Structure 1
C-alpha cells in the first residue's frame, strides 16, 4: 500500500491510538509497524483473531502483558556460554510470569465445552517453565538484591559479614564514647567503603588511625581508628567473597536456562503477538467497532459508519454502498456538508479493515479487498486557489491514473477544482469515465453541475449528496445516495443578508438549462424530505398500533386468568358446601332410621334418602370442574397403595394417596398442605419420577425408585402442619423435631407450628437454638394471640 494514502487518510493517527493500547514495548513496536495487507486469507485470519480477542475480553476482562520484554539478546549470550546479569534474569522471569498468566487466561472453564478459536493454539503453545521461574524469583529479590538463602555459601558469608560488622560497630561506639571531645559529631560514617569517625583537625596527632577524607573547610578529618583496621579489612574480604558467591548464583541460574532457550524465544514471540492482538481488541472496544465482512468483488457497504477521529458525541453515522449496482459514486453539495468526511471514512475503513482492525460501524458492514487505495484529497476551504495548487493535484491524479486498475479504490476530493469551471468539469468527466471503463471503484466529490448530469446519464454511475438544511444554514451530515446535491448558493446568500435584487440579477446570468436543472433538484429534494417525514410518521403509527395491540392482548390474558381463578374458587367452595350438606343429610337420615326402625317406615325413608342422594350427586357433577381429558388409564382400587403418586384431574394438582378407597371409591389425597377427599375416577396414577419435593432431583428419585423411597415420599407428603414436643426432655425432643422439620420441608409446607409449651423455657430455648442452625429455615417467631402465644413457635421455610 502506498505511503502517501496512509498519510492522506490519517491512518497513522489510528496506529498511534492502537500503540497506546499495547502494554509491552515489543507489542507497541508491532503496532507501529502494522500496515494494510492485500492478501484475502491473511486479512480474514487477522480479523478473526481480533474478533476472538474482543470476545475473550468481554467474557474474562483484559489480559495484562506489561511484563513482556525483548530478551532475545540475553538468550544469544546464553548460547555462547555467558552468564546473565540480575536485570536480564529478572526480564526472563517477567516474561515467564506473563506466559503463566496468559496460559491461565487462555483456558476455557472446565464446566463449559467450547470450540477452539483462533487464539487457543497460541495459548496452548506457551511454556511458563514454572520450576525455572520459581528458582529465579527465589534467588533474586530485586534489581540489586540477592536472597540470603540463594546458596549455602552466600548465607555463610553474609552471616560472617553481619558478625564482623557488629564487632566494628561495638569498637567504634566504644571509641566514640571515650573520645567524645575529639570528635566533630558523635556519628559513624563511611568513606571508601570503610567505617570512620569525624575527628576535629586539631586532634589529628592524638587520634591513632588512617585518614580517608576531610571536610570542605578542612576542620574535620574522617579517620579510620587503628583498632578497627583489621576488622574493616576482614569485612572487605567478606564483601569480595559475597560478590563471588553472587556471580556463582547468577551463573547457575543462567546455566539452568540454557536448555530452554527455544521455548523462551517462542514465549516471547507469542506474547508479543498476543499483546498486539489484544491491543486491536482494546481499540475496537474504545470505538465500539464491529468485524466487517470481506469480499473480492469490489462490494462496499458501510452501515452507520462513524469516522473514528471525530468527536463520538457529535459524529453523525453515514451509510455508504457502492460496487454492486454502480462502481462510481459522485457526491455533490455545499461546503462543510460532510463530503470529505464521507470520502475519508470509506478510505480509512478500507485501510483499517485490511490491517486486521475492526471498524466503527454497525454489524454486517462489508468491505472489499483492494490491492491499492489512492486518494487525492485537498483543502478547498481557502478563498484563493492558484495554478500551482491545480498543478499539484493534477500531478497526483496523473500518478493515480498510471497505477490504478480494477483492483484499486480511488478517492478524489473536489476533482479538477481550481481552474476554469468549464474546462475543469470536462476534465473531471474524462478522468472519471476512464476509471469507470477500467472497472475501478471510485468515489469523488465535486461542485460541478455537469458531473451531476454525467451521473444521471451514465450506467454504473450514481449521484449522492450531503443533506443541508437551508433554513438553519447547517448541514445534517447525512449522505443520501441516489440524489444529486444542490449547491444552495442563492439560498445561503439570502439567509446571510445578500439583497434580493442582487440574487435576482445573478439568476439572470444562469443558462436556462442550468436553472431548470437546479429547480428540478430543489423539487426532488423537497419531495424527498416530504416522503421521509411521511415514512417516519407511518413508522410511528405502526409502532403505536403494535404497542396498543400488545396491551390489549395482555389485558385479555389477565382477564382470562382472573376468570378461570374465580370459577375455580367458586367451584371449590360449592363442592365444600355440597360435601358438608351430604354429610349432614347422611347423618340426619341415619338418626331418623334409628328412631323409625320400630315404626315400619324405614323403606319409605330409605327411598327418600336415595332420591336425595341422587339429587345431590347431580348437583355435584354440575359443579365439578370440567377436564377435557379424562384419566389416561383407569386405576384399579386393588392396585392402589398408600404413598402412590397421583394427579387430581379436577384440581390439576399432584399428591400422594393417604387412605385406601372405600366401597364408593372415595379416598383422601395429600396435596402439599391440602388434604382432600376425592373419588378414584378423578385420579390419574403418576410415575414415581414425576413426584418430587423441594430440592429433589427427579433423576435421583428415578434412580432410587425402591420400596423405602416410596415410604419416604409418602411420609413427606402426609406430614402434619404441627409437631407437639410437650412432655419431652431436650434430648428426646431434638431428634423428633429434626425428623419432623425434614419431612415438612420435603412436603413443601410453607410454615409449621412447633408446640413446646411454656414451662421453664428450656425446651423453647433448645428449639430456637436448633432452628438457627438449619439452612432451609427462613425465619421463626413465637406464636401470637390465637396461635398459642409463647407456648408455640411458628417456623417459615425458605
Structure 2
C-alpha cells in the first residue's frame, strides 16, 4: 500500500487511537509495523483474531496481557554471553509469567467450549518453561532486587549482615542515651563513607576513640566511628562484600539458565505483543461500536450506515455506500461544504482499517474488498518544491495514479477538474473518468460540474450521487443519495438570504436552457424522493402500530384462554369429586340390591341395576351442568346428532347414530345389529380427520425442532428467552427428553437454566449430562 494514501486519509490517527489501549512494549512495536495488507488470507486472519478478541470481551473476559518491557536488549546481551542484572532478569520473568497466565486462561476458555477462530492456535505457540519461570520468580522481584531465596548462601550472608548491623546500631544508640550523650553535638546516628558515625563536639573528639571520618563546615563537630563498634563495622563490610560476590554468582547462574532459550523467549515476547494488539483492536472496536467487515472476492464494497471514525460520534452522519456492484464509477455532484469529501474519505479510511484487521464503524453485514492499491487525490496539495499551481499539482498526482492503476485498485478523486476554466475542467474530468474506466478499477469522484451529471447518467457502469441539502434551513444534511445528482441551489440560497428578486430572476434567465432543464429534473427527483421517504415513514409507523395492536390482542386472547382453561380445570375437578361421590352411592345401592337377592331369593334383574346406576350418573351430570356454564358449553359441543360416530359404553363397541325417538333415546347401528339406547350410555367419537391433522402437526413440529439447544456465547437475558421458547416448542412437539448445552463459563447461564427448570411445572426432572456427553456443561431435561 502506497504511503501517500496513509497520510492523505490520516491513517496514523487510527494507529494513535489504538495505541491508548496497548500496555506492552512489544504491542507498541507491532503497532508501528502495522499497515494495510493486500493479501486476502492475511486480512481474513487478522479479522478472525479481532473477532476472537471481541468475543472474549463480550463474555466478560479479557486476554490477560500484563505490562511488559522490551527484552530485545536482554536477548542481545545473552547472545554475547553477558551477565544480566536484576532488572533485566525481571523483564524476562515478566514475559514467562505473562505467557503462563495467557495459556491458563485460554485453557479455561477451551474447556468451557468457547469457540474461537484463530487465537487458540496463536496461544498454543507460547512456550511456558515452567522450571525456568519458577527459578526466576523466587530469585528476583519487580524492582530488580535479588531475593533471599535465590540461594541458601545468600540467605545466610544476609542474615549475618542484618545481625551485625543490628548490633552496631544498638551499640551506637547506647551512646545517644547514656552519659556520653553530653559529648554529642546532637543525639543522632549518621553515615559517613559507608560507616555509622556519631556527631561529636570538637572538644570531645578523643572521648570515644576510634576513627574520625569527617567534620562540619564550622569545625565545631567531628563525625566519629567509636572504637567499640569498629570491629562490628568490619564484620558488616565483610558480609557486604560476600553478599556482592554471591549476587554476582546468582546473576551468572540465572543468565546461563536463560541462554539456551533465546529463540523461545523472543517468540513469547512477539506473541504477547500480538495478543496485546488484538486486545487493543477489540477495545477500539467496542469504543467505535464497530462491526466485523465481510470480505468480497470481486472488489465489491457495500457499507451500511458507515461513519467516519475520526469525527465526533455525536455529530457524524451514517451513510450507505456501494461500489463495484451495479456500477463501477460513483460520481457525487453538488455544492461544496455538503460532505462530499467526507464520504470519499470514509470509504478510503474504512478500507484501510479493514485491510489492517480492524473492525469498521458500520452496521453488521457491511462488505469490503481487499484492494491491491488505494489512490487518492484529495484537497489542496500544491507543491512548492516543484513550483506547481494547485491545478498542476492535482494533474501531476492524477497522471501518476493513472500509471499505477490496475483492476484491483480503488481510486478516490476529489473535485476532479477544479482549478481551471469550468468548461475545460469539465471536459478534462470526463476524459479522465473514461481513462480510469478502461483500467476496470473502482472509481469514486466528487465534482460540482453540472456536465458530469449528464455524463454519469449516460456512461456505462456509472451512477450519479449527491449530498442531501435541506432547502428549508439552507444547511447540508450530509446524507449521501445514490442515484440522484446534486444541485448547487445557488439561486434559492441567494433568494432566501435576501438577494434582490430581480437579480435572482435575471440570473435564472442567463442560465442556459439545458442547465435549467437539468436543475428542474433534479429538483423534481428530489421532491419525489422526499415524498417517498415521508410515505415510507408513515407506512412504517402504521405497520408498527398494527403490530403493537396485534400483539396486544394476542396477549388478551392468551390471557382469556388461560382463564378459560383454569375455569375448565376447576369445573372438571369439582365434577370428578361429584362423580366419585355418586359412584360410591351407586356401588352401595348395587351392593344392597345384590344382598337382597341373596337373602330373600328375590330376583333383581341386571337391567334394574344398570338403570339405577344410570339414574345416579344422570343426576350427577345434570347437577354439574346446571351449576357450571363452561361445562354446559362443553356439553353442547359434545351433543350427539344423527350421523355421529359413538362408543357404546355398556357393550364397549363403536357404532353410528341412525335415529332418535321422542323420549330422547338414540337408535345405533352396531355392525349388523340395531339397538335403542339412552344417550347416557353413548360417548361421541371425534372425527378421525382431526386426529390425523393433529398427528401430522405433531410430526412436523417434531421433525423441525432439534433435540439440543446450545446457549453458549449468548448473553443471560437472550439465553433465558431462547430457553423458554425452546421448552414450549419441545412440549408441543411431544418430546420426552431434550438437552440444554450451557457450557461452564462463569456459571451464570447454568444457574439460570436450573432456576427456570425448577419453576416450570411441565418439567419432570433434570440433571447434568454424563461425563462423556458434556458433564456439567450440559443438562438433560425430561418433559411431562
TM-score computed with the length of structure 2 as normaliser: 0.75
C-alpha spacing 1:595/1:205, structure 2 compared with 1 (3 Å):
closer
Query: Is the 1:387–1:418 Cα contact (8 Å) retained in structure 2?
Result: no
- Report the counterpart of residue 402 of structure 2 in structure 1: 401
Unaligned stretches of 5+ residues in structure 1: 381-385, 632-697, 700-744, 749-798
- Report the counterpart of residue 231 of structure 2 in structure 1: 230
Residues 1:373 and 2:366 are matched in the alignment: no
- Report the counterpart of residue 10 of structure 2 in structure 1: 10
Residues 1:119 and 2:119 are matched in the alignment: yes
Residues 1:143 and 2:137 are matched in the alignment: no
Query: Is the 1:43–1:354 Cα contact (8 Å) retained in structure 2?
Result: yes
- Report the counterpart of residue 292 of structure 1 in structure 2: 293
- Report the counterpart of residue 692 of structure 1 in structure 2: none
- Report the counterpart of residue 465 of structure 1 in structure 2: 466
- Report the counterpart of residue 328 of structure 1 in structure 2: 329
**Cα deviation 1:233-267 (Å, max 9, x = unaligned):** 22212211111111112222222223333322221
Q: Distance in 2 between matches of 1:605 and 1:300?
A: 94
Give the alignment of 1:428-447 within 5 angstroms.
428-447=429-448
- Report the counterpart of residue 572 of structure 1 in structure 2: 573
1:187 partner SS? coil
C-alpha spacing 1:497/1:66, structure 2 compared with 1 (3 Å):
farther
Q: Distance in 1 between matches of 2:590 and 2:46?
A: 93
C-alpha spacing 1:584/1:344, structure 2 compared with 1 (3 Å):
same
Q: Which has the higher contact order (CA 8 A, sep 6+)?
A: 2
- Report the counterpart of residue 199 of structure 2 in structure 1: 198
Query: Is the 1:67–1:95 Cα contact (8 Å) retained in structure 2?
Result: no
Give the alignment of 1:154-553 within 5 angstroms.
154-176=154-176, 177-204=178-205, 206=207, 208-378=209-379, 388-553=389-554
Give the alignment of 1:12-161 within 5 angstroms.
12-109=12-109, 112-113=112-113, 117-143=117-143, 145-161=145-161
Size of the aligned set, in residue pairs, is 631
**Cα deviation 1:592-632 (Å, max 9, x = unaligned):** 9989999x89557986554221233467789899999999x
Query: Is the 1:578–1:616 Cα contact (8 Å) retained in structure 2?
Result: no
**Cα deviation 1:248-295 (Å, max 9, x = unaligned):** 122222222233333222211211222122222222221122221223
Q: Distance in 1 between matches of 2:279 and 2:71?
A: 21
Query: Is the 2:26–2:269 Cα contact (8 Å) retained in structure 1?
Result: no
C-alpha spacing 1:606/1:311, structure 2 compared with 1 (3 Å):
same
C-alpha spacing 1:561/1:250, structure 2 compared with 1 (3 Å):
same
C-alpha spacing 1:570/1:287, structure 2 compared with 1 (3 Å):
same
Q: Distance in 1 between matches of 2:169 and 2:559?
A: 92
**Cα deviation 1:696-740 (Å, max 9, x = unaligned):** xx99xxxxxxxxxxxxxxxxxxxxxxxxxxxxxxxxxxxxxxxxx
Q: Distance in 2 between matches of 1:89 and 1:306?
A: 47
2:20 partner SS? helix
Q: Distance in 1 between matches of 2:171 and 2:539?
A: 100
C-alpha spacing 1:163/1:40, structure 2 compared with 1 (3 Å):
closer
Query: Is the 1:575–1:620 Cα contact (8 Å) retained in structure 2?
Result: no
1:167 partner SS? helix
Q: CA deviation at 1:331?
A: 0.6
Q: Distance in 1 between matches of 2:393 and 2:590?
A: 120
CA RMSD of aligned residues (A): 3.2
Query: Is the 1:387–1:419 Cα contact (8 Å) retained in structure 2?
Result: no
Query: Is the 1:593–1:605 Cα contact (8 Å) retained in structure 2?
Result: no
- Structure 1 range deviating more: 581-590 or 462-471: 581-590
Query: Is the 1:19–1:32 Cα contact (8 Å) retained in structure 2?
Result: no
Q: CA deviation at 1:359?
A: 1.0
